[in-house]
Structure 1
Amino acid sequence: MRTMTATEAARNFSGLLDAIECGETVIITRHNDPVAEIGPARRRTGADLRTALADIPAPDERFEDDIAAAVASLEPERGDPKVGAP
């Protein structure tokens, strides 16, 4: 794990991102105090989504109606003179 100052990180941001993209984690300091730890982004998968949703109950029978009503409330009314106006 590498440490660099905020000034160094700002001056060589592209190089910092290159190092992180290659798997390195970097600690950013300001006045010798650590202020950030930057590392590679975690790639999310379908398995992550299934795990996250595992404990959430399935939608009830009214769910589809609720979503349709919500979408309808966002759609402009037909004949609205503002629709398509600049």
Structure 2
Amino acid sequence: MTPDEKYLDLLKSDLQRSGRNDQDEYLQELIEAAKEEIKGYGVKYTDSSDYTSVLVSYASFLFRSRAEMNYDRTMPRHLDRRIKQMIWKQVRDDE
């Protein structure tokens, strides 16, 4: 299983859409958007469960914010905190 397939499966589970394939292309685009956006915050790609969790949570946030018409896209505090913690961990590990 490729990382992208894993991300898609986890996102579908998070959104309670397992077994459905009708929105796979859209969900894959959200994953790609989430990758770019968290990269813009300073998160580097790693093959870790932390990265996977943050990426899937962010993609889920993008999906839900659109569904709820939350166009200002105010990020939930728990997700903001996880992104900041991940950045700090990556900076610390690079030293």
State the TM bucket, normalised to the shorter chain: under 0.3
Query: Whose Rg is larger?
Result: 1
TM-score by length of 2: 0.20
Higher normalized strand content (fraction of residues): 1
Higher normalized helix content (fraction of residues): 2
TM-score by length of 1: 0.22
**More RCO (CA 8 Å, sep 6+):** 2
